[in-house]
Structure 1
């Protein structure tokens, strides 16, 4: 709806304001002659006039004080559940802890939610946990597709049990070390080829203001402890700070919004 409401003058104004060489990051990775490359960049972009960049607005969301649940009928065979917990931005000291928490919950077949929902209960066919990697406050998202004979409310209750257990008692050291090894391996694997290196350098320079922060993430992941995990689960994975979207087969009841601020 927002996109449809845009007028062409608004789009052009946005483009002229923000798509300027003084607001761009060019990332070059590989075996190249630096002088020739800089000449190429100057030839391609040097004639483009810089823009007067306005101050980037810093938008602060209102504090979420209660759980929000939205149900929507969709052309699907079984329920799908998406749970989003409010989380800090990537520069926050607890962001790496949340990355380990996501791995502990759904990062491998022995992860807590995967084991409980897919292997033991056979209530889900897929479980995923993702943490949004941006400067601004983000979301830790849990996505679950249920199996036939099971529903999203049943799965949500099982998720809450596993989260409560992790908040009440830290995971074992072996469990945390395994999750850290998986997360660190994923990080370094993403930098194997030139595309991955360029993507990471561009992201950290543009989103976080310093490309040198790339390698700091591995250090932050390695420093996470079991006590950190329990502490951050208690502070972040709480019902009052989450929004739940449940997609149900169209034959079920009409959409129902069960909460909101």
Structure 2
């Protein structure tokens, strides 16, 4: 029988001593990794980021998980690209599978989840709340309900402007953090591509020195240097507009 979302969250929180409220929060990958650790007890939890906030951190968690699946010969594809989007249905289906796998393989031994992650925080991923509406409420007749309202949209002495400002400030802070994470993710993948580019170039130069060539390496290099339609690589000798910034 398939477990419900409520049952799954209750089981997950009890097993891992965390405080998740939604199945979507499993998308960071940390909880999935620790479920496996509760079964086998040898997962490298020092490499699992339980308080991951950004997609590149989620991917790193799934890399650890994929290594465990391979080592334990677990024949189950991990849909990483779907799970990291933190969508309910994808994570619900995978968590249901994880629960069935746990039921079939957990030996009943005592598991100290907090100690295994060395007390690392396991707060669920944050979500961005919708912006509050700035329009005053209208009654069915089209007039503002509750009497006359000043031009600013709130009555004198109301706490609503303060609360709205605080909400907006909180969202600005969270969006700034999200932007910082995207920049780190961009740099993370750029460095990987740069390492590949250097490795390919070095190998091509070695082969050229021996009078040889490698079609696969040339194709990889072609992919690395390809550009989107309409995008032009700037001429290295062209003057740069000092006022233009990126």
Give me the TM-score of the superposition, normalised by structure 1.
0.23
**Which has a greater percent of strand?**
1
**Which has a greater percent of helix?**
2
Q: Which has the higher contact order (CA 8 A, sep 6+)?
A: 1
Larger radius of gyration: 2
